[in-house]
Amino acid sequence: MLKVRVIPVLLTQDGLLKKPVQFKNSRTVANVITIVRVFEARQVDELMLLDIGSTVEEEEYDPFLIKQVSEEVFMPFAYGGGIKSVEQMTQIIRAGAEKIVINTAAVANPKLITEGSKKFGSQCIIVSIDAKRKKDGSYEVYTRSGSKPTGLDPVKWAKKVEKLGAGEILLNSITHEGTMDGYDIELMRMVSDAVKIPIIAAGGAGKLEDFVKVVKEGHASAAAAGSIFHYTPITPDMAKKAMHDAGIPVRPPKIFETASLYKGKKFVIHKPKEKEVQ
pTM of the model: 0.86
Choice between 186 and 65, residue whose per-residue pLDDT is larger: 186
Alpha-carbon span 278 to 272, nearest angstrom: 10
Alpha-carbon span 103 to 149, nearest angstrom: 13
Percentage above 90 pLDDT, the chain = 69
Alpha-carbon span 94 to 227, nearest angstrom: 30
Q: Is 155 left (phi over 0), alpha (psi -120 to 50) or beta?
A: alpha
Neighbouring-strand partners of residue 24: 21
Q: Taking residues 46-69, report their average pLDDT.
A: 79
Alpha-carbon span 78 to 81, nearest angstrom: 11
Domain boundaries, the chain: 5-277
Beta carbons of 14 and 215 less than 8 angstroms apart: no
Q: Can you spell out the DSSP letters for 208-240? A: HHHHHHHHHTT--SEEEESHHHHHSS--HHHHH
Fold observed for domain 5-277: TIM Barrel (3.20.20)
Q: Taking residues 44-64, report their average pLDDT.
A: 77
Q: Which of 4-18, 33-47, 232-246 shows the lowest per-residue confidence on average (mean pLDDT)?
A: 4-18
Neighbouring-strand partners of residue 80: 50, 101
